[in-house]
Amino acid sequence: MKIQSAFLILAGLVCLSCSNGHLAGGNGSETTNGMTGVAQAVNGSPASGALTTAIRIDDWYPGIVSGALPCDTVRTDSLGRFSFSNIPVGSYRVVISDAGYAAMFDMQINLSDSIYSAGTVGLGATSRLSGQVPNSDASVKLRLAGTTFETTPDAAGNYSFDGVPQGNVNIVAVNGAVALPIASVAVGSNATTNAGTDSIPQGFLLDDFDDGDAKSLWNDVNSSSIWYAYNDADRGGASELLPLGIRDYFTKGITDSGAWKGKSAHAEFCLAGPLANPSGAIACNLERDDKHMLDMTNLSSITFMVRGKGTIRFSVITQKVLDYPVDRQTGHLGYTFSAPANWTQITIDTSMLKPSPDSPQDTDVLKWSDCCDSVRSIVIGSWEPLPGDTVDLWIDDIRLNGVGGTDIR
């Protein structure tokens, strides 16, 4: 079953601990008076006592996945009315359930000090969603992203979710803190919905930095696979890299203080003139040498944990772009995002890797399939900052999904 990248915004955004009260999180000054609505039963009467859950979904753009997020649960009153108070600005998925019937919808809260109305929400028949993931194991749980639905596959990988509302849902596999997209399914009014057979993406852990050295975990095979940091000094710039010394010794940026788990890599880019486009980044060599680059044809996505400040671009450096004239090598494929303030898992599907806007490669409509057999390195750094900007980057647990150690060796 094909995974639609547009649905990745929801993957892993699940909260399993709901409390009666108001939703917390976000900027405490950005609250609304509430979210209200009316639940209507199938016969048109008020759905009294219906369980209503609102789950906060983090930054609303493709690629973002995260851990547990604030959520709240209330029951409708005798007139079918529900209300949530003191809700931070953000995006929400609301699920209403009552006696075998349910409804699901999304709502965006944009302005402070306002009451947002969902109007009348009609409940409909639910479905049992089932399928199989043959390569599952006992450590994996499956969830419907943005909801509290969770299940564990049996020994054969068979699974089912009962009472699923009608609408599009995303099935994700969760193993520890890592959430990987499995499938997107349209659930209708039939008693059962078959999601078919899918596989949990297999990934190669490029690095989790817990060993504290600058070598990637692929270094055992490829001794040139190392992490390094750089700035615009070679171009006459005056940007600074922190912590001091990280440009020469990447290990100075590997720390357990503020880490996601174990140790994480941290670099701060203090961007300064005289260049109009100051820059700073961390990078990891992947190729063995100029003649032995990585064939990443089987790569499906890249997953990593990140937090920080500023605009970040994750780029994949390929020989296809380096074959352009030197002054035209400006459009390496990548994905640009705003660094989240808290540790967040991001999944970049290969279809989301695009050339830099207005670059020669963008004009040529260069695609990942054109470049995937000549990967040389990855670069994670600042994107189009202004002199005086500071970009803070924390990163951990970088996984190359769809490939295994034997594929990239």
- pLDDT for position 25: 42
Last residue of a domain, one of 199, 228, 249: 199
234 Cβ contact list (under 8 Å, min separation 6) = none
State the average pLDDT for the chain. Answer: 83
Q: Which of 287, 270, 267, 289 is nearest to 278 (CA)?
A: 270
Rounded Cα gap, residues 191 and 42, in angstroms: 16
| Same domain as 193, residue 243 | no
| Same domain as 239, residue 349 | yes
Rounded Cα gap, residues 349 and 65, in angstroms: 12
- pLDDT for position 6: 29
Taking only the tens place, the pLDDT of each residue in 32-67 is 668 899 999 999 999 999 999 988 764 332 333 333
Could you say which DSSP state residue 6 is in?
Answer: G
| Same domain as 67, residue 42 | yes
pLDDT of 390 above 80: yes
DSSP code string of 352-388: G-BPPTTSHHHHTT--HHHHTT-EEEEEEEE-S--TT
Q: Report how far apart, in Å, the C-alpha atoms of 70 and of each of 13, 27, 91, 170, 304 are.
A: 10, 13, 11, 19, 22
Residue 44 three-state SS: coil
Question: Which amino acid is located at 44 in the chain?
Answer: G
How would residue 72 be classed by pLDDT, with cut points 50, 70 and 90? confident
Rounded Cα gap, residues 140 and 202, in angstroms: 13
Burial category of 171 from C-beta neighbours within 10 Å (exposed 0-12, middle 13-18, buried 19 and up): buried
Q: Report how far apart, in Å, the C-alpha atoms of 384 and of each of 168, 312, 389 are.
A: 36, 9, 10
Instruction: Please report the beta strands in 140-293, taking only residues with DSSP state E, as ranges in sequence order.
Output: 141-144, 150-151, 158-164, 167-175, 178-187, 192-197, 203-207, 227-231, 240-242, 254-255, 264-270, 280-285
Rounded Cα gap, residues 394 and 255, in angstroms: 10
| Same domain as 186, residue 271 | no
| Same domain as 155, residue 129 | yes
- pLDDT for position 175: 67
- pLDDT for position 65: 39
Rounded Cα gap, residues 209 and 220, in angstroms: 14
Q: Report how far apart, in Å, the C-alpha atoms of 379 and of each of 7, 309, 335 are.
A: 25, 17, 11
| Same domain as 211, residue 194 | no
358 Cβ contact list (under 8 Å, min separation 6) = none
What is the CATH number for 311? 2.60.120.430
| Same domain as 125, residue 89 | yes
What is the CATH number for 42? 2.60.40.10
Q: Which residue has the higher pLDDT, 251 or 201?
A: 251
| Same domain as 235, residue 136 | no
Taking only the tens place, the pLDDT of each residue in 139-193 is 788 988 878 889 999 999 999 999 999 999 888 887 655 667 788 899 999 999 9
- pLDDT for position 260: 87
Rounded Cα gap, residues 246 and 96, in angstroms: 51
| Same domain as 215, residue 105 | no
Taking only the tens place, the pLDDT of each residue in 240-298 is 999 989 988 999 999 999 998 889 999 999 998 888 889 999 999 987 666 678 888 88
pLDDT of 224 above 90: no
| Same domain as 183, residue 234 | no
Last residue of a domain, one of 175, 199, 223: 199
327 Cβ contact list (under 8 Å, min separation 6) = none
Residue 291 three-state SS: coil
- pLDDT for position 57: 64
Per the structure, the complete domain to which residue 383 belongs is given by 204-408
Taking only the tens place, the pLDDT of each residue in 77-119 is 999 999 998 887 777 889 999 988 999 998 888 776 688 899 9
| Same domain as 144, residue 283 | no
Q: Which residue has the higher pLDDT, 208 or 5?
A: 208
- pLDDT for position 144: 87
Rounded Cα gap, residues 301 and 63, in angstroms: 10
In 10 A of CB 128, how many CB atoms? Answer: 15
| Same domain as 314, residue 194 | no
Number of domains in the chain: 2
Rounded Cα gap, residues 373 and 360, in angstroms: 20
Last residue of a domain, one of 174, 199, 224: 199
Identify the bridge partners of residue 76 per DSSP, sorted by sequence position: none
